[in-house]
Structures are given as C-alpha cells and as structure tokens.
Amino acid sequence: MPFLISVLHKTRDTLAIYWVLVRITVPIALVTELLSRMGVIEVITPAFAPVMGLVGLPPELGLAWLTGMLIGIWGAVPLLFTLVPVSSLSVADVTVFSSLILFAHALPIEQKIIQQAGPSLIATTALRMAGGLLYAFLLHHVLAATGWLSAAVDPAWIPISATPDWIEYLRGLGETLIWMLVILVALSWSLEILKVTGILGLLMKALSPVLRLAGIRGEAEHLTAVGLFLGISYGAGLLIREAQSGGASPRQIFLSCVFMGFAHSVIEDTLIVLALGADVYGVLVGRVVFAIAATAVIAALLRRLSDRTFFAQMFRPAAARVEG
C-alpha cells in the first residue's frame, strides 16, 4: 500500500510537470513551425552556423539547441525532426546533438537551483555550456574519423517531422504530446520501482569510488549520486540543505554541482534521447567518463585557488542562506 501511495503521489507530480511542459512546448512548437514556413528560420540559422559547424551539425539545429538550453530537453525534442528531416540525419548527428542538450538544458531553472547551494551562477553555467560544447566537439571528431555511427538514424520515436500541411502537423503535435505523457509517467514509475527494490541505492553506493576520482568526497558523494540518477532538483536540493547546515565544505559543494551539471538524471534523460536514435555509448558512457575527468581537472585547478579568490568568484556562502 505505501508503494501504491508513493506511485500515486509521483504520478500526480508528473502530471503537474507535464502540464507545465505542454504550456511551454506547444507555443514554441507552433511558433517555430510558423517561422519555418515563413522562411524566417533560413534567415537566422547562419547565426548558429559557427557553433554548429564546430560539432558537425546542420546550422538549423542551433535553434533547437538554444531552445533546449532555455526551456529544457522537452522543448528541444519536438524541434529536432521539424528543423531537419530525419532522412538527412545520421546516428552520429543525433548522438552529438543529444549530447549538447544533455549537458546544458533548462539553464534558467536548474542553475538557479544550483545557485541556492552557493556556487556562482555565472561560473557553473559557463562550465556546463563549455563542457557540453567540448564533449560534442570531441565526440564529433572521433565519430567522423572512425566512421562510427555514420548510418542513417532510425528513431524508435519521431516527436514531430516536417509535414506538408497544418492538419498533419497538428496531428503529429498531438501524438507527440500523448507520447510525452506516456514516457514521463513510465519513467516516474520506473524510478519508484528502482527505489523500492533497492537497486537505486546499490547504484549510488557503487558510484562512490568513481566519484572520488573526480575529487568528490565525504557527504557530497551521496548527494552527487542522487543528482546523477534523479536530477539536479533532487541532488542540488539536498546540497542546499548541506550548505545551510555546514555538512559539506564549499569546495565539495561546488565540485558536486559542477559534476551534476555535466551528468545528471542519467536514467530519464538518456532514455528520451535513445528513443530519438542516439547511441548509448555516446550519450551515457562517454558523457559520464567525461564528467569524471573534467571534474577532476576542475578539482585540481580549485586546489590552486586561494580561499579569497574562490569565495569572491566561484562561491557565495550567502546564497546558501536564501529561504526555500
């Protein structure tokens, strides 16, 4: 019975999140499609060309990348096959694009949560964006040099694809919204099952030695593992409590938030992009390895910073005392 109650509460929360996503996704999708049909997208895409060119993607996807950074993964997903036909994309393209939005998405919301734990909003946001671009750049060149994942993408789910008329487009948008709901509910139930069976707890314990390689130790290990599997809202939320109580040092809190910025919610987010046709090694294994290595480098650099510089530029203790 407690399990059923927990599932019902989780489903209610998921429906509330879904409604927020619908209110954001539908207007953006409609406006984007209208602008595309008017030729506006063709005019603005050259502005994204330099960045998209660095990671080997069509410039049109720059708009989806920007939407993902501002709105979230669910804001970018409906635009992927609208801006670029699925027939012109390879598995490598979808994997690289997915990596970009997995690193940096919903920045206004997630980074505000991280800021409440103490780390600088500007510093951690810049690290997430730079980390995402660097990983996508390295991944693109590895895939291009080896020819790996060069086959045409064959997605299990196409959110929305370009259609000849508005009726077909609206039908596709409706189907996308239905699948969004199905996927969100299924994922929320799956996470509850993992919690109840203890599998999630075992995964978090197994991750502890790995996090030490990234320079994350003590109480921050468990909290980082929570963020890795369940998302920034959970992980950083617990870090806010630790920051207020003094349970974790400011530098450990900063490193934990940096790591979570690179890799968080790896179950839910990864399953979404895998359905689009992304490769699991590129969007999960490689991303986690990069997160560990990059955070270790940042940890080494932090040790060279004086407390005065660290608290002036990277961490604001006062932020941890903000109510809520």
pLDDT digits (tens, 9 = 90+) for 247-301: 789 999 999 999 999 999 898 899 999 999 999 999 999 999 999 999 999 999 9
DSSP helix, strand, coil percent of the chain (3-state; round to 5): 80, 0, 20
Mean pLDDT of the 123-150 span: 97
Least confident of 153-162, 180-189, 287-296, 301-310: 180-189
- Beta carbons of 238 and 117 less than 8 angstroms apart: no
φ, ψ of residue 313 in degrees (nearest 5): -115, -25
What pTM value is reported for the model? 0.81
Least confident of 64-73, 103-112, 118-127, 156-165: 156-165
pLDDT at 41: 67
pLDDT at 26: 82
pLDDT at 162: 61
The most distant pair of C-alpha atoms in the chain lies apart, rounded to whole Å, by 61
Residue 145 burial by Cβ neighbours in a 10 Å radius (0-12, 13-18, 19+): exposed
Residue 321 has pLDDT above 60, yes or no: no
Q: Please report the sign of the dihedral spanned by the C-alpha atoms of residue 215, residue 203, residue 201, residue 4.
A: positive
Residue 93 tokens read as 């393209």
Alpha carbon distances (Å) from 220 to 22, 180, 192, 324:
34, 33, 23, 20
Residue 312 has pLDDT above 80, yes or no: yes
pLDDT at 320: 39
Q: Which of 232, 222, 244, 264 is nearest to 112 (CA)?
A: 232
What percent of the chain shows pLDDT beyond 90?
43
Least confident of 4-18, 145-159, 273-287: 4-18
Alpha carbon distances (Å) from 198 to 45, 177, 256, 266, 269:
47, 32, 23, 17, 21
Mean pLDDT of the 177-195 span: 78
Higher local confidence (pLDDT), 227 or 32? 227
What percent of the chain shows pLDDT beyond 70?
92
147 CB neighbour count, 10 Å cutoff: 9
Distance CA 278, CA 272 (A): 9
What is the band of 309 on the pLDDT scale with cuts at 50, 70, 90? very high
What is the band of 138 on the pLDDT scale with cuts at 50, 70, 90? very high
What is the band of 139 on the pLDDT scale with cuts at 50, 70, 90? very high
Q: Which of 215, 286, 231 is nearest to 264 (CA)?
A: 231
44-71 pLDDT per residue, tens = 778 888 999 999 999 989 988 988 888 7
